[in-house]
Each structure stands twice: as structure tokens, then as C-alpha cells.
Structure 1
Amino acid sequence: MKVSIITATYNSEATIEGCIKSVLSQDYPNIEYIIIDGNSSDYTLSVVNAYKQRYSDIIVISEPDNGIYDALNKGIKVATGDIVGFLHSDDFFNSENTIKNIVKEFSKGKVEGVYGNLDYVNSKDSNKIVRHWKSLPFTKKLLNRGWMPAHPTVFLKKEVYDKLGLFNTKFKIAADYDMMLRVFSDESLRFKFLPEVITKMRVGGASNRSLKNIITKSNEDYIALKRNHLDYPLWSLVLKNFSKIPQFFRKS
């Protein structure tokens, strides 16, 4: 199976090379790597184009966009893989075997999605784990408890996006949560939890950079819960926020 990995980037000269190397170091041979750049004004494109000249499987699109979800949607539209996943420009895969292990789970039987665990790491020292997001095998009742898989670890069949659509760009911060609710609420789809760390994410994401963003995130989460017809959206939101607390104490 062919895997499309999408990276959205904008002025990421400090981290983009590590992200690219993480993809290129994978020991799975059939990878299409798509980089969507928002018309960066620093040296991001210089780094990206240097790798594109050496690796024919890298697709680069650089143009102004309307934010990260618009960029990810562009990537999904041009992806030709059977499986689609994301790796943000500040992030990297946990090991060289990550994609191979994910594809193995898809190969075992009928499954439309595979997801795993996520480590948040210190922005200066990537060996220092700040927060460990340990996921669970999926059951639909988990959604009402505010549960969601760590979105950067979720790999879906391309046909899922063909069926359910792209990220809703009306959301500024919570389009990934809205997408996860949309996907995991579809009872025709089946998912497999891979109990290993898939992605390491440097701290400092858009959703937690300021109090204003935290408030915006919570408001958008509530809207997403209502849009996707969760039974008790306000209670689910409360549980979702409280469920994050143990992640700061759990390291494995």
C-alpha cells in the first residue's frame, strides 16, 4: 500500500529539516511525501527544495493559504496514496519503523484507520518528554467521555476523506477535533489502536499558546461536539479537558 504523508509548513526553517529527515528515514519503501508551504518568507523553502532535488517522491506546493487546515486540505486533494497521514513541521516520527508498523495493521484485515500514542517533547531537548498521550482501543462510548485519539497519530484510508470530506476551515483551532468526531462517529468504519508512540511533537502548538487560544479552542470544541451530535456536549467538553491532566504525569 502507498502511504501519503502531508506536512504543512510556514516559516519553519528551524525544524523542517528534522521533519523531512524523519520521513526519509522510514524503512517503508512506498511513501509519497507532500509538503504544503504557506509561501514562507524565511529559509524554509530553500531547505525543502534542496531535498526535493534529491528525492523525486517529494511533492512541494508553496502558495498563500488560509491557515494550517486549508494547507492540509490541499495536501489531501493531491494525495495519491491508499493511506493518508500527517506530520507537522515541528514534529518527527518516533522510529524508522513507524510507517511500516502502521501499514502492517492495515494489512491484517478490514480497517479504515490506525492510530497510536503521542509524546509531547521539549522544544529545545527532544529527548525530554513533557506529556505522554496514551490512547485506547476505540469504542464509540469514549466520544461522549471527551476522548479522541491524538490526531497527529491518526492514519486513515484515503477513501475516508473521499466519503466524509475535508477539514472544516471555519474552525481556526479545532478542525482536527471536528474531523476526529466526524470520522470516529461513522459506525461503518473500523479502527485499530497501535499501542506504541507514533509521533513526537514539540510543545508550543497553536491551541495552547495563550489564554485567548485556550478559550477559542474550548469554544470551538463545544461547537464541534454539537455539530457531530454528541449526547452531552458540555459534559463531554469538561471530561475532555480534565482527561489531559494525567498526561503530564505519565511518561510511558
Structure 2
Amino acid sequence: MISIITPVYNGEKYIEACIENVIGQKCPDIEHIIIDGGSTDRTVEIIKQYAEAYPHIRWISEKDKGQSDAMNKGNAMAVGKILGFLNADDYYEPEVLNRVREIFWKLPEPSLIVANCKVWDRNGNHYLNKPSKLNYVYLSMGGEYPYNSSSYFYHKSLHKLIGGYKVDEHFAMDVDFILRAVKVAHTKYINETWGNMRFIPGTKTYTDQLIGLSEERYQNILKYYQSQLSMIQKLKGTYLIICFGFKKVVKRISCITRWI
């Protein structure tokens, strides 16, 4: 079974589309766990309506300590061996979950599968995130990482080895998770587009980038993991960035700067 976990707070604008997107995957062996943080808008009302009609939807609504806490709650509730996290304002390409099922049964445990993600701006333009090199040293030195959880899935058992999402990290928890995960998991990159991320006004990531904190948080996490690398590893990572990642990094920064 695949467990899709959606953390949400005051997400009435997108939560229905998110739920419909998972339903539209037509995957027979899934559950959709929605962790609401005590929303004050119509989010809970919408979730209730769908949960009554679709038994694969499970949900709770209670105050939490932020998105990471909600993600950990979802992980604890999940009964599936495979986990995927879908934010309320993100969405999958068609047939992604069936594709995930097809691939995972062949893989050792724990595995982490990463595919491509389209990052959309307000004008309908997109940047294609292709994190093809899932190497710990490369990612620690600033190589292109998976931007959004809509493009990756992993065995739940991975959390037994690396722990949960850090509750005190509210914005870059996914970067921290990926860096810990690639050290111990069997990794596989699939050159297909699976996820879609909205980088538009009103979304959490856009707001954080707008006030100038997103890149700072990212760099702080990198500094922590870089401090654990040997000088030889740092040199190797720099070489990998030059060979594989420099153009991607420049393009990413260029797109984000232009979109804001």
C-alpha cells in the first residue's frame, strides 16, 4: 500500500483539488492521510465531505507544532509500506501512483525514488527540477536536490534508520530529510516528471523566498552537513558541482529571482 500524507492549515483554496488529484490517480491500493493543523477556514468542512464519500481518506484536525510535526503524525498513522507527501497546493501528474507501485516492488528496502518536478510561477511558466545525481557529497555541497515531495517516494522503514522530520525545522525540513536519507537508502532516479509545485504568491515557499529567508535556511542546512565532510569529500563535491550541477544551480537561481 502507498500512504499519501497531506499536511494542511487553512488550505481551503487548494485542498479539494489536492484530494481530487489523488482520487484521479485511480490507484487501487492507497490511503490518503490528511493532517489538518486546526484550520479556521473551510478546510475541515471540505475534508469531511470527501472522507464520508471515500473510505481511503483518513484525517485528523488538531493544533500541531508546524508542518514537520504534521508530517510525523501522518507517518505514525500510515499503514502503507511506501510513503509520499503531497502538500495541499501541489499535485501529481496522471498515473504516477500506479507507476510508483510498479517500480517499488522490485526494489530493496529501504529505497528512495526521485523523479522530476515542474515548479510553476504565476504566469504559467515552469522550471523543470531534475535531481538526477542523488549523491550525499554532491547534495551537501549544493547540488540540485529534489525541490518538492510530490516528486519522490520512499519506504516507511527508512524512518527507523534516520528518524522523523525535525520538528524545529518548519521550512527546509525536506532538504534536511533528503540529505539524511541518501546516506542510508538505496536511491533511484527516474527521468520522468511526477510532481508539480506552485511557486506563486500566497504559498508558503514563495512567501519565505520573498522575504529573503528561503536561501538562507537552505545554506544553513548545507553548512551543517558540509562541516561533517572531510577535505577530500569537499573537493570531490566541488568537482561534481562543476561537472554536473553548475548550470542547474545558475538556472534555478535565475528563475526564482525572475519570478519574484
Give the TM-score normalised by the residue count of structure 2: 0.82
Alignment of 1:154 onto 2:159 = no
Contact 1:113 1:190 in 2 (8 A): yes
1:167 shift after superposition: 0.5
The whole-number CA distance in structure 1 between the counterparts of 2:146 and 2:30 is 23
Identity of matched residues, %? 27
Following TM superposition, the consecutive aligned residue runs of length 4 or more in structure 1 with deviations greater than 6 angstroms are 239-242
* Counterpart code for 2:3: S
The whole-number CA distance in structure 2 between the counterparts of 1:51 and 1:67 is 24
Partner of 1:78: 77
1:154 shift after superposition: 1.6
Alignment of 1:245 onto 2:242 = no
The whole-number CA distance in structure 1 between the counterparts of 2:224 and 2:125 is 29
The whole-number CA distance in structure 1 between the counterparts of 2:44 and 2:120 is 25
Partner of 1:67: 66
What secondary structure is seen at the aligned counterpart in 1 of 2:157? helix
The whole-number CA distance in structure 2 between the counterparts of 1:16 and 1:142 is 35
1:208 shift after superposition: 4.1
Unaligned 5+ segments in structure 1 are none
What secondary structure is seen at the aligned counterpart in 2 of 1:116? strand
Partner of 1:100: 98
Partner of 1:28: 27
Give the TM-score normalised by the residue count of structure 1: 0.84
Contact 2:117 2:148 in 1 (8 A): no
* Counterpart code for 1:175: M
Partner of 1:203: 199
After the TM superposition, which residues 1-252 of structure 1 pair with which residues of structure 2 at under 5 Å, given as runs? 2-95=1-94, 97-110=95-108, 112-123=111-122, 128-147=124-143, 148-152=145-149, 153-186=151-184, 189-204=185-200, 205-209=203-207, 210-214=210-214, 216-226=216-226, 229=229, 231-232=233-234, 243-247=248-252
Identify if the C-alpha distance between structure 1 residues 66 and 157 changes in structure 2 by more than 3 Å, giving closer, same or farther. same
1:141 shift after superposition: 4.3
How much is the aligned-residue C-alpha RMSD, in angstroms? 2.6
Identify if the C-alpha distance between structure 1 residues 134 and 222 changes in structure 2 by more than 3 Å, giving closer, same or farther. closer
Contact 1:178 1:221 in 2 (8 A): yes
* Counterpart code for 2:31: E
* Counterpart code for 2:146: P
Identify if the C-alpha distance between structure 1 residues 134 and 11 changes in structure 2 by more than 3 Å, giving closer, same or farther. same
Identify if the C-alpha distance between structure 1 residues 52 and 35 changes in structure 2 by more than 3 Å, giving closer, same or farther. same
The whole-number CA distance in structure 2 between the counterparts of 1:140 and 1:218 is 15
Contact 2:118 2:128 in 1 (8 A): yes
Contact 1:119 1:129 in 2 (8 A): no
Unaligned 5+ segments in structure 2 are 256-260
Number of aligned positions between the proteins: 239
* Counterpart code for 1:58: I
Contact 2:199 2:205 in 1 (8 A): no
For residues 18-68 of structure 1, the C-alpha deviation after alignment (integer angstroms, 9 at most, x for no partner) is 100000111220001100001000001111110000011111110011111
Contact 2:140 2:222 in 1 (8 A): no
The whole-number CA distance in structure 1 between the counterparts of 2:19 and 2:103 is 24
Identify if the C-alpha distance between structure 1 residues 102 and 69 changes in structure 2 by more than 3 Å, giving closer, same or farther. same
